Amino acid sequence: MTPPESGAPGVPAVGVDARLYDEVQRFYARQVQLLGDGDVDRWALTFAEDAVFEQEAPPEKVFAGNAPPVRRGRAEIAAAARGAVAERAAAGRVRRYLIGMLTVRRLPDGALTTRYCAVLVQTPPGGRAALHLSTTGRDLLVRHGDRWLVRHRINSHDSEAGSHTGLGQQKEKPWPI
């Protein structure tokens, strides 16, 4: 079978081949587990050193609530996550991040752009699991040796107006790199 990205001229690419798609899915599986486990140090290493993490979210839900909506660089990204992880650990809450509905596109330079849905399921100590948040993500992934790293992430909460209009989610939106 013809790989989808090598379709006939004029036919829009519809994705990446099975091997690459599988690789990216496993990247996200590992990344969400590191954050869910509160292993911020190793989670931060899944971002490029000069990565940018933007959040379109209500101010009180930008991670711990006191992180800036745009974090620049691995250290700042880690600091924001560390605050959030400490806050939930103090409250005894467990958070699990689930990613689905993933699309992957390859750029001419070999980097990847991805789009996906991400939900957060939260369980209080001794309590009932509940859907905490529904969001979408757009990433720019770059290869680093045999691994992928997030170079730029935009995470948009569905409760925000931008998510409703879809204006912030145009497929052809250029990456602000």
Partner 1 sequence: MTAAGTAPATAPAVTAEAYAQILQFYAGHMQDLDTGAAEEWAEGFTEDGVFAQNVKPEPWRGRTHIATSMRRGLDRLAERGVQRRHWLSMVVATPADPVDGADDTVRTRYYAVVFETPRGGQASVYLSTTGEDLLVRRGARWFIKHREIFHDGA
Pairwise CA distance, residues 51 & 118, whole Å: 20
Pairwise CA distance, residues 11 & 48, whole Å: 33
Are 118 and 158 in contact by the 8 Å Cβ rule? The answer is no
Is there binding between residue 26 and partner 1 (CB under 8 A)? Answer: no
Is there binding between residue 55 and partner 1 (CB under 8 A)? Answer: no
Is there binding between residue 116 and partner 1 (CB under 8 A)? Answer: yes
Q: In whole angstroms, what separates CA 102 from the centre of its chain?
A: 10
- Do the bridges between strand 130-144 and strand 112-123 make them parallel or antiparallel, or are there none, so unpaired? antiparallel
Ranges within 3-22 binding partner 1 (CB under 8 A)? 3-4, 6-8, 11-18, 21-22
Is there binding between residue 113 and partner 1 (CB under 8 A)? Answer: no
Is there binding between residue 117 and partner 1 (CB under 8 A)? Answer: yes
Is there binding between residue 100 and partner 1 (CB under 8 A)? Answer: yes
DSSP letter (8 states) at residue 32: H
Cβ distance to partner 1 smaller for residue 46 or 156: 156
Cβ distance to partner 1 smaller for residue 16 or 32: 16
Is there binding between residue 119 and partner 1 (CB under 8 A)? Answer: yes
What region does 173 belong to: left with phi over 0, alpha with psi -120 to 50, or beta?
Answer: beta
Shortest CB 73 distance to partner 1, Å: 29
CA 160, 163, 167, 170 dihedral sign is positive
- Contact residues toward partner 1 (CB under 8 A) are 1-4, 6-8, 11-18, 21-22, 58, 100-104, 115-117, 119, 131-134, 136, 157-161, 163-166, 169
